[in-house]
């Protein structure tokens, strides 16, 4: 009698070792949440500011200064440069350049640009460098103006003191100017309410959105609702040609 053959043993599945987690690239949302890029302001002294004819283009400025940085500060770069209406030069850091990198390189950048924008490179333009701190402006609506038959609108100092009295979040702001009414104070009538604007240092823009999340600030016995301030464009003058 022939015995049936035993079934062939099943092949064992090889045991895999621990798998290395795959590196995940940063999400689009996380990149968009990155703070605003740091920047420097280079300010020629008023008596030696370069005339507009000597101004270099943003591309010329960035290319020249990035060559300087590449030789002395590896990994640091600039992404943009622009002239302001006050004849200052704003330098915006590259994507991987932090504020302390710019601060460390500021002496070199100042020396390089003072020669590059001078009409005569042998007579460099004296320039000072400072951190360009971002401002935010907050609009506070529905605030009593204080106008009555016996007095005018609350002064800017009175507005500042009233906000500081009732709003702990306001007290810690680094103001760049006093709160200002959005209209001429002389135009307000007795018993009226209006809006004023508060400007403060806000390097990343996060302070503004934190305040907006609280909806209100209090002043002169009233809750004012909050909005980001948007400067209205000036009306263009009619052409004379």
CB neighbourhood size of 163 (10 A): 24
Residues 51 and 120 in one domain: yes
3-state secondary structure 69-135: HHHHCCCCCEEEEEECCCCCEEEEECCCCCHHHHHHHHHHHHHHHHHHCCCCCCCCCCEEEEECCCE
Last residue of a domain, one of 98, 131, 164: 131
Residues 98 and 157 in one domain: no
Q: Does the residue 181 lie in any domain? A: yes
CA-wise closest residue to 91 among 73, 72, 110:
110
Residues 73 and 97 in one domain: yes
Last residue of a domain, one of 113, 131, 149: 131
Residue 185 burial by Cβ neighbours in a 10 Å radius (0-12, 13-18, 19+) = middle
Number of domains forming the structure of the chain: 2
| DSSP-based three-state secondary structure for 205 | coil
pLDDT at 75 (0 to 100):
81
Residues 125 and 144 in one domain: no
What is the pTM (predicted TM-score) of this model?
A: 0.50
Length of the chain: 241
Last residue of a domain, one of 89, 114, 131: 131
Residues 162 and 180 in one domain: yes
CB neighbourhood size of 219 (10 A): 26
Q: How far is CA 3 from the centre of its chain?
A: 87
Q: Which position has the token pair 């049936």?
A: 4
Residues 126 and 153 in one domain: no
Per-residue pLDDT of the chain (241 residues; tens, 9 = 90+): 555 555 555 555 555 555 554 555 555 444 444 556 778 888 877 666 665 556 788 899 999 999 999 888 878 889 999 888 777 888 888 888 887 888 888 888 888 888 888 877 778 888 888 777 777 888 889 999 999 999 999 998 999 999 899 888 888 888 877 888 989 889 999 999 999 888 887 776 778 888 888 788 899 998 888 888 775 544 444 443 3
Residue pair 122/191 in contact by the 8 Å Cβ criterion: no
Give the CATH number for residue 139: 3.30.70
- What domain range is 144 assigned to? 135-228
């Amino acid at each position: 009698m022939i015995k049936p053959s035993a079934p062939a043993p099943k092949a064992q599945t090889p045991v895999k070792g621990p798998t290395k987690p795959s590196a995940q690239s940063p999400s689009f949302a996380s990149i968009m949440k990155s703070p605003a890029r740091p920047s420097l302001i280079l300010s020629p002294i008023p008596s030696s500011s370069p005339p507009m004819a000597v101004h270099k283009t943003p591309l010329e400025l960035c290319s020249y200064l990035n060559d300087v940085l590449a030789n002395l500060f590896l990994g640091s770069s600039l992404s943009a440069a622009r002239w302001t209406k006050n004849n200052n030069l704003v330098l915006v850091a590259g994507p991987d350049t932090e504020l302390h990198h710019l601060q460390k390189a500021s002496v070199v950048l100042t020396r390089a640009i003072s020669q590059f924008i001078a009409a005569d490179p042998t007579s460099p333009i004296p320039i000072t460098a400072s951190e360009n701190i971002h401002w935010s402006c907050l609009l506070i609506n529905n605030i009593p103006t204080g106008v009555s038959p016996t007095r005018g609108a609350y002064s800017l100092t009175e507005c500042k003191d009233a906000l500081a009295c009732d709003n702990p979040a306001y007290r810690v702001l680094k103001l760049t100017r006093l709160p200002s009414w959005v209209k001429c104070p002389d135009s307000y009538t007795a018993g009226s309410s209006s809006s004023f604007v508060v400007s403060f240092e806000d390097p990343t823009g996060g302070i503004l959105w934190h305040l907006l999340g609280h909806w209100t600030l209090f002043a002169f016995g009233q809750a004012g609702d909050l909005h980001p301030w948007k400067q209205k464009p000036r009306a263009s003058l009619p052409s004379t040609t």
